[in-house]
A and B are shown apart, each in its own frame.
Chain A
């Protein structure tokens, strides 16, 4: 079970308080009506299946109710950082695929 830092509560909490909402930084196209089929399909269906560092959206559903982003290594499950929506993850040391700095 993951131990997740909520950047709104500023505390580590147990995974069972959270819902993972999938890959982060997927913006809704600004002009959906003029999107091609491919663009719209990319938006709603296509996701990366990253091996290694992955940014994902989490919801503190049983806590503050806020959404935030998490940068997590999908091999080791190490969470590099939690960060607020609308911000980019802080650059971290070069992380190889084993998740070791």
Chain B
């Protein structure tokens, strides 16, 4: 298909390199240097989508990041689908495949538009809130319909085939934006030797200079750009980042810069020399000074039917003609309130096409460009506005009328001017987005009719368009000064003599503040006057919102969805605020502005994740015996970052069969558990014992060397948060164990108290979790097994008692052996230096074979401990449970001289009241039924729903092989006094399980088995 709108010559495209691309299944051709948007316009594609709510046909209106309509689904394969790509920011490449995201069945014939037409009046702001209120059950049906109609692109169904990268950087000066101000700033800063990063979201550096007809030092501006960029590229202290959007400017000058490394090359990132390239890279930059040279975006004038394809921004039209060699129509009408709108008409005329008229709302103007337009013979109609557009799928005519000097009313004559393109310019909105990201509100500046960045304490400078400075000469000199100041603030001295910039002064006539062209009818009656294209927000909608009482701009925004789209309302927000102000009879500063949040433009999830995906999503921690567990068929459970064996199924076993086998083998002979993940904290110092006494609830004063003790740790509120066994290694030396998941938190807790409350205590703590491999052998044959592999330890039951530890050798390796038990069986916990863990484990397995030694995982460990009523902190406790609630008053020593952490807390009114929930055993009436953990208890089978009906809940529940029945632990109100009572557990399927409250110790209540 011919590129009907392409000029014969000119622009920064390479006519020698045609590129073919597919849009909505049709093939087109563009050139190297095109964006997807310029290529579509070159091919005369008018409609590139359907609007969100009314499904009206929409065309391209802008040339940059502010584009609200041309949002594409890009991707040739399912795995490379990217939704919500702005065609104006996607470089064309050969084979690019894209489609419009909205429109059903297709954009050219859209059934929904009839709904929009008929239902337009019935879809005011808040339509969804007001209409789809109920019945609740209908929502899934509404949602399906709404989502289909909305159609904002689709997520890929397959895994992303590309990889993404991240890089941390430090810079003295980061310059955001490479227009005249940014380039001059970067150049001045770089001359000082400072480390400079220059980032720009476009394919090329240069910003507005790329389509400018102005000169710098007598040369075309674009040539100056080439020279400066070459100079910067040759400076080793400068990092140039094209195609890199500064998406966030966070606290303390931390920037997130999203660089699209390969999006301009193809559907997916290429492979170079066999290496897969990263598609995007996220630069995380800490900068000493940030210079924002982000420029300004042109504000359209709102008028009736201003969304008909062919209505565009004036500067966008000039950009398409001058930079891309594309004239997006045949006959142009310009509607403007300033001189800048004239650029579009001048470029259009010079490209050899017709300009029907420039409609200028000002009573008159004498700027240089106004003169140039006159010289070119372009008809200028002053004191008038374009207030309506005719046409359905493309503009057919502009309705023009004379306007009162304040721009609020149509007066006098009206006429229709035939045309197929209407370009408007209502002035400029500085791109203040980044300046808002850390909380600074922009401030209204009457002189420039726009918001500029508010004051902020950070080391940031604003130059050029963002500060309302649009004159080329001033942009260059301000940029230069900012670059120098930034470098100085970072301790560098800028080069002298300074570069000198000569530009030709352009006479500019004063602009007029015009946000919306008045119509013959009021907002509420006029044809739709669109403010926010992406969310179909109209002037009438904003008026209605204000009328319904939403006065704050933040409320108007939320009620109408103004600025809620993927474009964050870059084009429409200021007009929306101006309309709200007009309706309220207030000024724009009185109405105020909403603030922008990161990210500036939508960003791929892959770029946020970087390399932290798939296998590298989260670090994995393995014990020294991991290879053995894998070789022996263990299934794994995540405990924090640890991978722990869950159970070891044998071929053909169900999970329950594996657990039964592991449990019975341990109870009957010997089992072995990898307990290396238990947190271990080495505590030393002359006050270590005193310190333990303060952080644990029980007494430590008399724990002798060679002895171990179980301890509970509480918060100051008296609630249990961790538990473990601590052993006295020497008079001033202890080894504390914690839960596997709680180790880091416990160490931080201990340090907190040592450093803040009791710095006078001489105590030192260090984590030794990874230093030791820990294996627990448990069961009646564990002593016999240990005898065969150990030396130097007297294993006699009276010499090495329960809750003792001994030093010796196991398999020839120096070891610490602790006689402690989490199963209720005779147990030894063998600790060897981690590097010997696998060797010792294998030895135990080899020698233990005669006793049918059976490895067991966390699940069997849970069952065995629950049979004994031993708690797991974090499973049977939840931060609202005191030691007394657990029936563990024996582990609390209220008579210690120091008021230990938790003592005052557990003696508060609430923890000491009657009728608290207490941990008890629960036995189902039917021994085969295993309760669900979390199940709620009620007192009666036919309970009535209501407050206070729940008596408690199940915290742990298993099937116990040795008991031949199910067992559970749970909280029950006043549970200790209700032994033998019946409670009921309603289930999801409506049935109710009957159960009896009992002691939590189900097996060997006297503890004989561990004291043999």
State whether the Cβ of A2 lies closer than 8 Å to any Cβ in chain B: yes
Chain B residues with a Cβ closer than 8 Å to the other chain, count = 29
Interface window among B174-182, B191-199, B250-258: B250-258
Give the CA-CA distance A35 to B286 in the complex, in Å: 47
Q: How far is the CB of B725 from chain A (nearest CB, A)?
A: 24
Are A35 and B904 in contact (CB-based, < 8 A)? yes
Are A43 and B716 in contact (CB-based, < 8 A)? yes
Are A61 and B439 in contact (CB-based, < 8 A)? no
State whether the Cβ of B756 lies closer than 8 Å to any Cβ in chain A: yes
State whether the Cβ of A76 lies closer than 8 Å to any Cβ in chain B: yes
State whether the Cβ of B909 lies closer than 8 Å to any Cβ in chain A: yes
Are B759 and A86 in contact (CB-based, < 8 A)? yes
Q: Determine the main DSSP class of A at the interface with B.
A: loop
Chain A residues whose C-beta falls within 8 Å of the C-beta of B158 in the assembled complex: none
State whether the Cβ of B751 lies closer than 8 Å to any Cβ in chain A: yes
Are A3 and B254 in contact (CB-based, < 8 A)? yes
Q: How far is the CB of B908 from chain A (nearest CB, A)?
A: 6
Chain A residues whose C-beta falls within 8 Å of the C-beta of B909 in the assembled complex: 37
State whether the Cβ of A100 lies closer than 8 Å to any Cβ in chain B: yes
A-B pairs under 8 A by CB, number: 68
State whether the Cβ of A52 lies closer than 8 Å to any Cβ in chain B: no
Are B748 and A33 in contact (CB-based, < 8 A)? no
State whether the Cβ of B217 lies closer than 8 Å to any Cβ in chain A: no
Are B751 and A65 in contact (CB-based, < 8 A)? yes
Chain A residues whose C-beta falls within 8 Å of the C-beta of B254 in the assembled complex: 1, 3
Are B751 and A59 in contact (CB-based, < 8 A)? yes
Chain A residues whose C-beta falls within 8 Å of the C-beta of B455 in the assembled complex: 98, 100
State whether the Cβ of B880 lies closer than 8 Å to any Cβ in chain A: no
Give the CA-CA distance A13 to B144 in the complex, in Å: 48
Chain B residues whose C-beta falls within 8 Å of the C-beta of A79 in the assembled complex: 252
Chain B residues whose C-beta falls within 8 Å of the C-beta of A57 in the assembled complex: 756
Are B457 and A33 in contact (CB-based, < 8 A)? no
State whether the Cβ of B752 lies closer than 8 Å to any Cβ in chain A: yes
State whether the Cβ of B903 lies closer than 8 Å to any Cβ in chain A: yes
State whether the Cβ of B438 lies closer than 8 Å to any Cβ in chain A: yes
State whether the Cβ of A91 lies closer than 8 Å to any Cβ in chain B: no
Q: How far is the CB of A18 from chain B (nearest CB, A)?
A: 11
CB-based nearest B residue for A95: B457
From the candidates B439, B756, B904, name the one contacting A75 in the complex (CB within 8 A). Answer: B439
Are B457 and A99 in contact (CB-based, < 8 A)? yes
CB-based nearest A residue for B248: A1
Are A19 and B748 in contact (CB-based, < 8 A)? yes
Are A1 and B250 in contact (CB-based, < 8 A)? yes
Give the CA-CA distance A27 to B716 in the complex, in Å: 12
From the candidates A19, A21, A100, name the one contacting B457 in the complex (CB within 8 A). Answer: A100
State whether the Cβ of B905 lies closer than 8 Å to any Cβ in chain A: yes
* B895-921 contact mask (Cβ, 8 Å, vs A): 1 or 0: 000010001110111000000000000
Chain B residues whose C-beta falls within 8 Å of the C-beta of A35 in the assembled complex: 904
CB-based nearest A residue for B747: A65
Give the CA-CA distance A100 to B457 in the complex, in Å: 6
Give the CA-CA distance A1 to B909 in the complex, in Å: 41
Are B456 and A76 in contact (CB-based, < 8 A)? yes
Can you list 14 pairs linking A and B with CB atoms under 8 Å apart? A1-B250, A1-B251, A1-B252, A32-B903, A33-B903, A44-B715, A67-B752, A67-B756, A75-B439, A76-B457, A77-B252, A77-B438, A85-B759, A98-B455
Interface positions of A (Cβ within 8 A of B): 1-3, 14, 19, 21, 27-28, 31-33, 35, 37, 40-41, 43-44, 57, 59, 61, 65-67, 75-79, 85-86, 98-100
Closest 9 CB pairs of A and B: A32-B904, A3-B252, A32-B899, A77-B251, A67-B755, A44-B716, A1-B254, A33-B899, A28-B757
Interface positions of B (Cβ within 8 A of A): 250-254, 286, 438-439, 455-458, 715-717, 748, 751-752, 755-757, 759, 899, 903-905, 907-909
